[in-house]
Amino acid sequence: MSDKIINIHHLNAATLCPLIISDFFKQVRELSNKLSQAVSWRSQQNNTTFHTNIANSNSEDRSLDKRLVCHCVLIETRQKLILLDTGLARTDIEQRGKRLPTAFMKVIGRPILDINQTAYHQIQALGYSPSDVSDIIVTHLDIDHAGGLIDFPQAKVHLLNTELNTARHPQTFIQKQRYTPAIWRHNPNWQAYEYHAGGEQWNGFESLRNLAGLPTEVMLLPMRGHTQGHTGIAVDNGGSSLLFVGDAYVSRKQLSGNTPPEIAIFNQFLQEDLPAFKRNLARISELKQKNLPGLKIFCSHDPKEYRQCCG
In this predicted structure, the answer to whether residue 229 has a pLDDT above a threshold of 90 is: yes
Between 55 and 213, where is the model more confident?
A: 213
- 153 neighbors 117 (Cβ within 8 angstroms): no
186 and 130 in one domain?
A: yes
What ranges in the chain are assigned the alpha helix state H? 21-45, 59-62, 90-94, 102-103, 119-125, 143-146, 161-168, 173-178, 261-270, 274-289, 303-310
157 and 108 in one domain?
A: yes
253 and 106 in one domain?
A: yes
Least confident of 94-98, 114-118, 165-169: 94-98
54 and 140 in one domain?
A: no
83 and 33 in one domain?
A: no
Tens-place pLDDT, residues 35-83: 555 444 444 544 433 333 323 344 457 789 999 999 999 999 999 999 9
Q: What's the average model confidence in pLDDT over 216-227? A: 97
Taking residue 246's Cβ as centre, other Cβ atoms within 10 Å add up to 26
Q: Which residue type occupies 37? A: Q
80 and 27 in one domain?
A: no
Q: If you count DSSP H runs as helices and E runs as strands, how many of each does the chain have, helices first? A: 11, 13
Tens-place pLDDT, residues 153-187: 999 999 999 999 999 999 999 999 999 999 999 99
83 and 34 in one domain?
A: no
Instruction: Answer left, alpha or beta for residue 87, where phi above 0 means left and psi between -120 and 50 means alpha.
Output: left
101 and 32 in one domain?
A: no
Please give the tally of structural domains in the chain. Answer: 2
Tens-place pLDDT, residues 237-285: 888 999 999 999 999 999 999 999 999 999 998 999 999 999 999 999 9
DSSP state of 43: H
E strand or H helix that includes residue 133: strand 133-137
Which CATH number is 113's domain given?
3.60.15.10
88 and 13 in one domain?
A: yes
Range of the domain at 53: 21-63
pLDDT at position 240 is 92
199 and 287 in one domain?
A: yes
How far is residue 36 CA from its own chain's centroid?
41
238 and 162 in one domain?
A: yes
φ, ψ at 75 (rounded to 5°): -110, 125
Instruction: Please report which confidence band the pLDDT of residue 12 belongs to, taking 50, 70 and 90 as the band edges.
Output: very high
pTM for this model (two decimals): 0.87
225 and 89 in one domain?
A: yes
Question: Please, is 200 exposed, middle or buried when counting C-beta atoms within 10 Å of its C-beta (0-12, 13-18, 19+)?
Answer: exposed
- Reduced to 3 DSSP states, what percent helix, strand and coil does the chain have, rounded to the nearest 5? 40, 25, 40
